């Protein structure tokens, strides 16, 4: 095991511990715990057994394992960005509705 593997496995372990702690105080839903736990465990497996990425990349017709990881990461980041965008739009809509209601209530008081 090299330094890279040790450092990143420690990081993954810390991340998994944080997920467990957050789930115990109900900051994460069970679905989120499963999702993030799976992501971090998959990362740990890839770090421990890097040859897996070569097999996966060959299965998908990609030349190198590193390319497979990069493509997968980009797709994952776009998915997360899209989810954040949807939540932000929803919050913006809720804020507009609340401010409109408050303004109308104040207008009715006068």
What string of H, E and C letters represents the secondary structure of 50-62? CHHHHHHHHHCCC
Angle between helices 51-59 and 30-48 (to 10 degrees): 110
pLDDT tens for residues 52-88? 999 999 999 999 999 999 999 999 999 999 999 999 9
Q: Please, which pLDDT band fits residue 107 given cuts at 50, 70 and 90? A: confident
Residue 23, pLDDT above cutoff 90: yes
Q: Looking at the whole model, is its pTM more than 0.85?
A: no
Residue 12: how many CB atoms within 10 A of its CB? Answer: 19
């Amino acid at each position: 095991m090299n330094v890279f593997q040790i450092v990143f496995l420690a990081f993954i372990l810390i991340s998994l511990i944080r997920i467990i702690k957050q789930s115990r105080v109900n900051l994460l839903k069970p679905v989120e715990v499963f999702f993030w736990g799976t992501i971090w465990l998959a990362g740990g497996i890839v770090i421990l057994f890097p040859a897996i990425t070569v097999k996966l990349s060959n299965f998908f017709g990609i030349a190198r394992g590193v390319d497979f990881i990069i493509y997968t990461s980009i797709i994952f980041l776009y998915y997360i960005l899209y989810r954040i965008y949807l939540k932000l739009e929803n919050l913006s809509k809720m804020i507009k509705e609340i401010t409109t209601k408050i303004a109308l209530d104040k207008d009715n008081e006068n």
